[in-house]
Amino acid sequence: MSILRLAATAVLSVFLAAPALAPALADGPDEIFEKTTVWRMLSPDAKLVVYGIDDPAIEGVACHYTLPYIGGYKGMFGLAEEVSDISLACRQTGPILFKEKFEQGEEVFSQRRSLIFKRMQIVRGCDTKRNVLVYLVYSDRIIEGSPKNSTSSVPIMPWGAAPAPRCADFVE
């Protein structure tokens, strides 16, 4: 196989795999907005994109996180490794309703950050002493993990006349 044919096959593979890197639109996060951080004339800009998700197991909690995307030709063809700098903020948006019991550190949301090796995850726990939900976002890789992370906590407060539920009652 010639080098030119091999290179064309590699580029085609990246284009076919690119949709797998994007968040799923049907049940994935909502894109809130994006902001260009590095403008490039002939290739895609580097940018920060803010997303919103609802906790699938706990009604009344929403999280927002920001992901950086590398622009340029490497970013355009999926050859750049996306960095692990992810920020997270979670808040109570209504009355808290636990839909099911959960384990400490249970995954709330996950998204690929590279073709094979890197994944971003948001996990949840309960600070039973303080009645606070704790969310952690981090990225991991098959070979070595990433120490970069962000934590957000949601104190469970009464909403209206109903008393606040205790997250300790729903931890397995």
Where is pLDDT greater, at 80 or 147?
Answer: 147
The pTM score is 0.76
pLDDT single digits (tens) 109-145 = 998 776 666 788 999 999 999 999 999 999 886 656 6
For the chain, percent of residues with pLDDT exceeding 90: 49
Residue 66: pLDDT over 90: yes
Give the chain as a 3 state SS string.
Answer: CCHHHHHHHHHHHHHHHHHHHCCCCCCCCEEEEEEEEECCCCCCCEEEEEEEEECCCEEEEEEEEEEEECCHHHHHCCCCCCCCCCEEEEEEEEEEEECCCECCCEEEEEEECCCCCEEEEEEEEEECCCCEEEEEEEEEECCCCCCCEEEEEEECCCECCECCCCHHHHEC
Model pLDDT, residue 81: 62
Domain boundaries, the chain: 3-170
